[in-house]
Amino acid sequence: MSANPSALATAPASSRIAPPISASLWLNTPAPLTLDQLRGRVLVLHAFQMLCPGCVSHGLPQAMEIQRTFDPQTITVIGLHSVFEHHDVMTPAALRVFVHEYRLTFPIAVDQPSENRSLPRTMHAYAMQGTPTLVLIDARGRIRAQHFGGVSDLVVGAEIGRLLVERVESPLAV
């Protein structure tokens, strides 16, 4: 279901304050991260599932290239492992192996499972439709773009460029 983007939930919101990340676990970071603490940076939140072909072939390589291209103190990439299917095999232990084998080095949150839904909490709060989903959060903590499925580097680059200008021009607003 996740390889070819298809409908899962409602349409993405825009320009609202990004909901907090509900994580049951963090990898690649000494301590859990919060959006509040990252205010002032442009955030690239990449939601994926380790066994989603489109995430492995396109989404994660794009997230890694964003991480390599920009200054991490300005543009911070965060992975979000949002398992909404096959929960029994995409476990935190399996994710650790995946992260090691694919050499992912950005911080990754394991999206907190819900008690009464298949969708984990952060995925639900962002109204994501599936994986991969790329969310751009500006320096003031607002969702400015949310892409389900593939999105070109040109488009993501242009969006990042916009947020970088705003960040510099409105430092006090941050």
- Chain residues that interact with its own copies, rule: CB under 8 A: 2-3, 51-53, 56-57, 65-66, 69-70, 86, 88-91, 93-94, 97-98, 101-103, 152-166, 169
**Shortest Å, Cβ 31 to its own copies:** 25
* β-strand pairing of 23-27 with 108-111: antiparallel
**Shortest Å, Cβ 84 to its own copies:** 13
Nearer to its own copies, 21 or 55 (CB): 55
Nearer to its own copies, 56 or 125 (CB): 56
Short-list 165, 146, 166, CA closest to 155: 146
**Shortest Å, Cβ 152 to its own copies:** 7
For residues 12 and 19, what is the distance between their CA atoms, to the nearest angstrom? 13
Helices 153-169 and 60-69 cross at an angle (nearest 10°) of 40
The three-state secondary structure class of 100 is helix
**Shortest Å, Cβ 7 to its own copies:** 18
Nearer to its own copies, 18 or 83 (CB): 83
For residues 51 and 3, what is the distance between their CA atoms, to the nearest angstrom? 9
Judge whether 133 and 8 are in contact, CB under 8 Å: no
Nearer to its own copies, 13 or 168 (CB): 168
**Shortest Å, Cβ 123 to its own copies:** 18
Nearer to its own copies, 9 or 94 (CB): 94
Judge whether 105 and 28 are in contact, CB under 8 Å: yes
